[in-house]
Structure 1
Amino acid sequence: MRIDKLHTIDSTNSYLKRISKEEDAQEDIVVWALEQTAGRGQMGTTWSAESGKNLTFSVFRKVKRITISEQFYALMAASLAVKDVLSKLLIKNVRVKWPNDILTDNDKICGILIESVIKRGKLDAMILGVGLNVNQTEWKDTPRATSIKSRTGIHFELEEILSMLLKQFHHYVDLLLKGQFETIKNDYEQHLFKKDKPATFIASDGTQFVGIIKGVSETGKLILLQEDEVVNEYDLKEIQLLY
């Protein structure tokens, strides 16, 4: 695996998309930046992190054995890998806030962004972006943010955490390649934030409603039990969990 360590870049995901296309990359590539000037989150949001104190990196990997309809399993696998590493570091109450945020209690400690590379109508590769709060302890205009250091009081070497994450990612990639999708999905659902508890959501038209998270569909939609025992599925553009 090739690892490119950079001081400053706009976005590790954007950078990887450019170089993987220019180089027609066939091997795994990791791009790790100490600072991102335009870090990206889900749905066009930004990811802000203090320079040199957190892990911001992206991984390029060929995934020809996974179809477009199965790509959400990669996001579930990545979420579980981060959860596993945080648990090993003694972070308590780690949960996945659908679809791609990692929380400890009610505070966000990590965000994940996966982008697909489609060629000739088929899934050719995926770019996984991770923003993990490691040693930062203060934030401006970012409510409910936390870090590994904030939770443990321990200052960690970023490279050590990166190595742990990459090792765990490989474990889940092996599960994906073996077709163990149901195992991944069950584990992901077991760690969903607010699962089986009443929660308030806001729809795209601004209306609020209460639902109970029951799981996710194979394509990544959130399955909610609502009034009158009606079960509905929603994608990311349709609802937002309020907490």
Structure 2
Amino acid sequence: MKIIKLNAIDSTSSFLKELSKQSTLQNYTVVVANTQTNGRGQQSNSWVSEPGKNLTMSVFVTNLNLPITNQKYLNFSISLAIFDLLSTLQINALTIKWPNDIMAVHQKICGILVENAIRNQKIQSSIIGIGLNVNQTNFPAFLKQVTSLKLLNNTVYDLDILMTALLHHLKKRIALLQSKAYHQLETDYLEVLYKKNSPTMFKDSQAHLFMGKIIGISASGNLLIELENETVKEFGIKEVSLA
């Protein structure tokens, strides 16, 4: 495992992606930055982080050899690794908001961006971008419902110690993935899925509001929502959001 520490970079994931094109990287090569000027989140969203306060890192994981039909289990593994870490810190009301935001007391504390390299219908390697709010206590007004470890526990955390612990949990969950413990990963994920089995207002891609409840994840990794008429509909990541 190799750890590359940078003072400032546009995006740790972009840096790691370019590095992987130029050389053969060790498994679990990590790039961590004090400052990201153009951090990226899901669906082309930006990730805003105060310099030096949060854990902004990307991890290169290889030798996965995972059929793309099982991609959801990789996402489960990554989300659960961060969930495991935060559980050890006694963070209350932890959940995973589909597909892979980590929530604490209904507020986002961590975002994840996974970019896969695919060959012969299999995921060979992944670059896992992680933005964990740690010691930041003030956030821009446009960021709604966000929190940090410091806000929740009133404790200043050592970012290096957190990074080491996170890598430990990530390796454990990826080991389960590689041993094909798919049922365990899915069971653990659904057990902590945000809003599961709770009547909730949703908004579809046409901005139509509807009531439903999350009941699970489809084989392709989409969200399964039971509607008021008791039919079940499948939604992709850009097709539905919480209202």
Q: TM-score, normalised by structure 2?
A: 0.96
Counterpart of 1:124 in structure 2 is 124
Corresponding residue SS for 1:113: strand
CA–CA separation in structure 1 for the residues paired with 2:136 and 2:239: 32
Whole-angstrom CA distance in 2 between matches of 1:12 and 1:128 = 10
8 Å contact 2:93–2:106 — kept in the other structure? no
| CA displacement 1:16-36 (0-9 Å, x = unmatched) | 111001113353311101111
Q: Using the alignment, how far apart are the partners of 2:193 and 2:88 within structure 1?
A: 18
Residue 169 (structure 2) pairs with residue 168 (structure 1): yes
Q: Percent identity?
A: 40
Aligned-partner residue type, residue 7 of structure 1: N
Match of 2:102 in 1: 102
| Distance of aligned partners of 1:134 and 1:239 in 2 relative to their CA distance in 1, 3 Å threshold | same
Whichever residue aligns with residue 224 of structure 1, its letter is I
Equivalent residues of 1:102, 1:111 under 8 A apart: yes
User: What whole-Å deviation, never above 9, does each CA across 1:180-238 have from its counterpart, x for those lacking one?
Assistant: 01100111011011110011111111111111000112321001100221011111011
Aligned counterparts of 2:63 and 2:74: Cα–Cα separation in 1: 10
8 Å CA contact 2:65–2:122 kept in 1: the answer is: no
More displaced stretch, 141-150 vs 38-47: 141-150
1:86-235 matches, cutoff 5 A: 86-140=86-140, 141-235=142-236
Q: Aligned Cα RMSD in Å?
A: 1.1
**1:118 CA displacement:** 1.9
Given that 2:7 and 2:34 are in contact with CA atoms closer than 8 Å, whether structure 1 keeps it comes out as yes
The match for 1:40 is 40
- 2:62 alignment partner in structure 1: 62
Say which is worse superposed, 45-54 or 119-128, in terms of deviation: 119-128
Matched residue SS, 1:71 = helix
Aligned-partner SS, 1:202: strand
| CA offsets 1:160-179 (integer angstroms, 9 cap, x no match) | 11111000001001101110
Is the contact between residue 81 and residue 166 of structure 2 (CA under 8 Å) also seen in structure 1? yes
For residue 11 of structure 1, what is the aligned residue in structure 2?
Answer: 11
Asked whether the equivalents of residues 60 and 125 of structure 2 are also in contact (C-alpha less than 8 Å), the reply is: yes
Distance verdict in 2 for CA 1:63–1:70, change over 3 Å: farther
Distance 1:50 1:64 in 2: 33
Structure 1 stretches of 4+ with a deviation exceeding 4 A read none
Question: What is the total number of aligned residue pairs between the two structures?
Answer: 242
- The letter for the 2-side match of 1:57 is M
- Whether the 8 Å CA contact 1:117–1:124 is kept in 2: the answer is yes
1:63·1:126 contact (CA, 8 Å) conserved in 2?
Answer: no
Distance 1:178 1:200 in 2: 38
